[in-house]
């Protein structure tokens, strides 16, 4: 099965904290293929960012990572030396973060921050690195790249800084780009531009993208495959269509009902051909239903399905044991006891 670019099996990441052990990720399987656009969605604290940081091995010292396998490009990440990891980070796996305002070091010029890892990973001379940086800035749509190189982050707008972040992440031609909530901190119009940019890059560079977000709208427009996480576990995964039109997990349903999706609205005006989806949006705008309750305490995770406490279809079994991911369609899996053969019909009313 090693033909995946990245394959994670049974990833568990725990943190030591003052009060005990926080089980942030409790057994997650993820695979990414070259050129794929994977979305990971979930509420804050569901473990999606921690999963990515685990893959990058960028967690703080109080974290411990365990996995049955964590293979990137044929190499076992967990057994690599720190030195090899450094040659992977920023070089083979690029990463961009939520807040472009704070993700760039305020004391160094943009050029400096773009060139330092180019020179490190690609052994470029200063001139080569500069040329590459200019090229990348142009690619991400920044005007007057030469001038911008000499500027400091605070001289740029948020959107532009995120473009710079993308340029930094992409300039070594990584095989995977991990984007951790790249648009959350941006204005709606900028969000769209950034997403567009990421799609273009994915297409042009055949880079796989893992997009982490809690914004279903963003997922809907860009991703081919979606993973829904909750309470440190994967609740459901499948193609965009499967997730949006045939959600098999009550949590996914809840998410779809609770989120106003700007992204789709906008795309709506651009591409009229997805009429069905537009209708969905219409329907959902009429009735926005938040999911009651709050996420589980991962220091003391529930024995059963983490969502049981908030699930309106919860059964007694849900509290006793977690459900395993079960195939519900081609590449569509969901972890819900309702999918058990003994479970009553999905449409049972409460």
Min dist CB 274 to another protein, Å, is 34
Min dist CB 293 to another protein, Å, is 6
Residue of the chain from 275, 276, 293, 331 that contacts another protein (CB under 8 A): 293
Residue of the chain from 58, 188, 288, 289 that contacts another protein (CB under 8 A): 58
Q: Could you tell me the strand order of the sheet in which 37-41 lies?
A: 93-96, 176-180, 208-213, 37-41, 225-230, 233-239, 332-334, 326-329
Kindly tell me which of 168 and 216 has the beta carbon lying closer to another protein.
168
- Other C-beta atoms closer than 10 Å to the C-beta of 8 total 22
Task: Say how far apart CA 207 and CA 115 lie, in whole Å.
Answer: 20
Residue of the chain from 5, 6, 7, 14 that contacts another protein (CB under 8 A): 14
The string of DSSP codes covering 103-168 is HS-TTS-HHHHHHHHHHHHH---HHHHHHHHHHHHHHTT-SSHHHHHTS-GGGS-HHHHHHHHHHH
Contact call for residues 198 and 166 (beta carbons, < 8 A): yes
The string of DSSP codes covering 197-238 is HHHHHHHHHT-EEEEEES-HHHHHHH-SEEEEEETTEEEEEE
Min dist CB 152 to another protein, Å, is 4
Kindly tell me which of 18 and 290 has the beta carbon lying closer to another protein.
18
Q: Is residue 217 within the footprint of another protein (CB under 8 A)?
A: no
Contact call for residues 261 and 217 (beta carbons, < 8 A): yes
Kindly tell me which of 216 and 314 has the beta carbon lying closer to another protein.
314
Q: Which residues pair with 39 in a beta bridge?
A: 211, 226
Choose the binding region for another protein from 131-139, 161-169, 222-230, 237-245 (rule: CB under 8 A): 161-169
Based on the number of CB atoms within 10 Å of its own CB, is 266 exposed (0-12), middle (13-18) or buried (19 or more)? middle
Min dist CB 34 to another protein, Å, is 20
Min dist CB 269 to another protein, Å, is 31
21-50 binders of another protein (CB under 8 A): 21
168-187 binders of another protein (CB under 8 A): 168-169
Min dist CB 177 to another protein, Å, is 11
Q: Is residue 253 within the footprint of another protein (CB under 8 A)?
A: no
Kindly tell me which of 55 and 281 has the beta carbon lying closer to another protein.
55
99-128 binders of another protein (CB under 8 A): 99, 102-109, 116-117, 120-121
Residue of the chain from 29, 34, 43, 152 that contacts another protein (CB under 8 A): 152
Kindly tell me which of 154 and 283 has the beta carbon lying closer to another protein.
154
Q: Is residue 341 within the footprint of another protein (CB under 8 A)?
A: yes
Residue 89 per-residue DSSP state: B
Q: Is residue 86 within the footprint of another protein (CB under 8 A)?
A: yes
**C-alpha dist (Å) from residue 13 to 42, 66, 193, 297:** 17, 6, 34, 15
């Amino acid at each position: 099965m090693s033909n995946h670019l990245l394959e994670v099996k049974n990833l568990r990441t725990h943190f030591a904290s003052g009060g005990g052990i926080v089980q942030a990720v409790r057994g997650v399987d993820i695979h990414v293929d070259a050129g794929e656009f994977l979305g990971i969605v979930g509420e804050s604290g569901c473990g999606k960012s921690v999963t990515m940081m685990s893959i990058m091995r960028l967690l703080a010292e109080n974290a411990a990572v365990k996995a049955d396998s964590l293979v990137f490009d044929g190499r076992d990440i967990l057994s690599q030396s720190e030195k090899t990891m450094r040659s992977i980070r920023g070089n083979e796996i690029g990463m961009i973060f939520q807040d472009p305002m704070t993700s760039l070091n305020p004391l160094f010029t943009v050029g400096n921050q773009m060139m330092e890892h180019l020179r490190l990973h690609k052994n470029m001379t200063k001139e080569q690195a500069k040329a590459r940086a200019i090229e990348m800035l142009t690619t991400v749509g920044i005007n007057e790249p030469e001038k911008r190189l000499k500027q400091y982050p605070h001289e740029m707008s948020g959107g532009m800084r995120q473009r710079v972040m993308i340029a930094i992440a992409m300039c070594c031609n990584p095989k995977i780009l991990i984007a951790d909530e790249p648009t959350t901190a941006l204005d709606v119009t900028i969000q769209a531009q950034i997403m567009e940019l990421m799609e273009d890059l994915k297409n042009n560079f055949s880079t796989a993208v893992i997009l982490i977000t809690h914004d279903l709208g963003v997922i809907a427009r860009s991703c081919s495959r979606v993973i829904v996480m909750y309470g440190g576990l994967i609740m459901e995964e499948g193609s965009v269509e499967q997730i949006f039109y045939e959600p098999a997990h009550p949590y996914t349903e809840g998410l779809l009902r609770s989120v106003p999706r700007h992204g789709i609205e906008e795309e709506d005006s651009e591409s009229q051909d997805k009429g069905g989806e537009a209708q969905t949006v219409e329907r959902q705008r009429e009735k926005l239903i938040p999911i009651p309750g709050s996420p589980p305490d991962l220091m003391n995770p529930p024995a059963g399905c983490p969502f049981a406490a908030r699930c309106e279809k919860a059964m007694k079994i849900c509290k006793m044991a977690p459900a395993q991911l079960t195939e519900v369609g081609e590449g569509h899996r969901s972890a819900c006891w309702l999918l058990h053969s003994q479970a009553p019909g999905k449409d049972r009313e409460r």
